[in-house]
Amino acid sequence: MAEHNSTARFSDRVADYVRYRPGYPDELVETLKDSAGLTRSSVVADIGSGTGISANLFLLLGCEVYGVEPNREMRLAAEECFRDEGRFHSLDATAEATTLASGSIDLVAAGQAFHWFEPVSTRREWLRVLKPQGQVALFWNNRRIDTTPFLIAYEKLLHEFGTDYKEVNHTRIDHAALAGFFGNKAFRSFRFPYSQSFDFEGLKGRLLSSSYAPARGHPDHEPMLQELRRIFEASAVNGRVSFDYDTELSVGSLTR
């Protein structure tokens, strides 16, 4: 985590993150009901909960949710979003040291966050906080990079202008890494389609919500936005472009 300053790197991007980051398809929660025994009475630890995008899924179901988030700005955004929600508990803590009580959690979830965690200490900590039959759910929205001319051009833009895009890309987490974390090969994997539709301002906000996009004041910021505008104008249909994703879910218990 320290190598890429993961705790602080989203601090100046919270507003764009809240407005433009994708949610998750309904199939994700339905699958967790079937595969992880998730119910409205479940106690969920949402690790790396950020601004509350994934926590909202579990709150809508009726779960009690502990949002574990070390980034102050993102944590405050979630606290503001759920200020009237008594089932949401915000914790200034990390995946490796959650401050949660031992044996208190039915489901540990991490949405779009697991690639930031140190796996050995994280695994030890999650084993501590999980109930004996507790489950772990790791999920990401994987943006498709080569299925449309727009997505191909957008991926090229990230490689050209992204400050450390290759280093922090969560697709580095492969099946072998997941098997090592779960401690067995019995975890289950699922994939669901998902998409977002953007006008140019939305597309710009989506790009700037990414931690590897050069921020205002960086010498590559304006050239990046000029290229984004060119890509948009070349690809938009009726003034909009589509971000297409495969939502990947891995769920199972940790071998003790």
Q: Residue 188: how many CB atoms within 10 A of its CB? A: 13
Q: Identify the CA nearest to 144 among candidates 218, 246, 65, 222.
A: 246
Q: Are 126 and 103 in contact (CB under 8 A)?
A: no
Predicted pLDDT at 122: 97
Answer whether residue 153 is part of any domain. no
Q: Are 152 and 234 in contact (CB under 8 A)?
A: no
Per residue in 243-256, pLDDT (tens digit) is 999 999 999 999 88
Answer whether residue 83 is part of any domain. yes
Q: Identify the CA nearest to 68 among candidates 27, 7, 5.
A: 7
User: Which pair of structure tokens corresponds to residue 233?
Assistant: 């104008």
Predicted pLDDT at 256: 82
Residue that the structure tokens 């955004």 belong to: 77
Answer whether residue 102 is part of any domain. yes
Residue 164 CB contacts under 8 Å (≥ 6 apart), including other chains: 4, 212
CATH number, domain with residue 96: 3.40.50.150
pLDDT value at 95 more than 90: yes
Instruction: Put residue 52 in one of left, alpha, beta given phi > 0 → left and psi -120 to 50 → alpha.
Output: left
Q: Domain of 52?
A: 2-143+169-196+244-252
DSSP 8-state symbol, 112: S
Answer whether residue 220 is part of any domain. no
Answer whether residue 35 is part of any domain. yes
pLDDT band at residue 211 using 50, 70 and 90 as cut-offs: confident
Per residue in 120-168, pLDDT (tens digit) is 999 999 999 999 999 999 999 999 999 999 999 999 999 999 988 877 6
Predicted pLDDT at 237: 97
pTM (2 decimals)?
A: 0.88
Answer whether residue 105 is part of any domain. yes
The structural domain count of the chain equals: 1
User: Which pair of structure tokens corresponds to residue 225?
Assistant: 């936005």
Q: Identify the CA nearest to 119 among candidates 73, 62, 176, 197.
A: 176
Q: Are 107 and 134 in contact (CB under 8 A)?
A: yes
* SS3 (DSSP) at 133: strand
pLDDT band at residue 4 using 50, 70 and 90 as cut-offs: very low
Q: Largest Cα–Cα distance in the chain?
A: 54
Answer whether residue 212 is part of any domain. no
Q: Which helix (H) or strand (E) holds 234?
A: helix 221-235
Residue 74 CB contacts under 8 Å (≥ 6 apart), including other chains: 10, 11, 14, 17, 50, 51
